[in-house]
Structure 1
């Protein structure tokens, strides 16, 4: 019996096969999702080898928990949550990120950042995000790239929603600075 057709049920046949123990089906899911899940881990960890390790651990976890996937969200969203949590757990375990670095940084400055005259190119923005300190990078990646809301980020990171917003605001300032520096370097090399 086929489930109704909509985006939540993408790859449903593969997922059902996985739930029935078909390892080839799981390998197919791995091939479909590995690159995007690696990119998520890499944006959080900023290290290729660590992101590879997290990717493998996340897929192992997904393999053993596939029965818990209930088609309430897309498989990609379910898997992304596993990858994000694995990456954050790794940062905490390796003491590469201290939650206190975020917790005491609530901002009262709600001023918006002026982006006028700033050329926004995806590759430059991604590089800027990778160059952010861990806390800023994590919040910016989760918000800008992964599409989480501040309330969700707060829950994932065990911080307040205001702290998430504050970290994102500061991250935007750093991103703007990086882009301006990048533009200045490009302007000098053109001359």
Structure 2
């Protein structure tokens, strides 16, 4: 059931976001748009409450609980950026807004961008780890709850790869404009 709720949360995120942007830019319903967009983070709250209820009822901690924590953590870290990304594209396409912002391609701006993006991911990981730790304490039975703590380590390899191949690589081998790459 938890997996279905995670999938429904992701679908709900995009449906509420799309409806909020359509109300704002196509229908010019500013208040309705604001209400819909304010409801987007409530999806994470629903998922969190459902996960806590499931664990409190004595459910065996499993990968669905870990995935829910990671989903919420990364949603907290990247949710605002995803909404901004969609808003810029929707405004440009349907309301004559300026072209969407693009990440810098080189220079100090690119370096700062890469470190900030990785920092957001680290924040998401930290939020997920805190939620998993809280779930561990909530279950109470340390042997039964051990899979929750194991989930806290799952993002380690992707995070390390991201760190090495983007922020560190950009720090050591900075990108340059094509005319300066000789």
Asked whether the two chains share a fold, i.e. TM above 0.5, the reply is no
Name the structure, 1 or 2, with higher relative contact order (CA <8 Å, separation 6+): 2
Relative to the length of structure 2, the TM-score reads 0.28
Instruction: Provide TM-score, normalisation by structure 1.
Output: 0.27
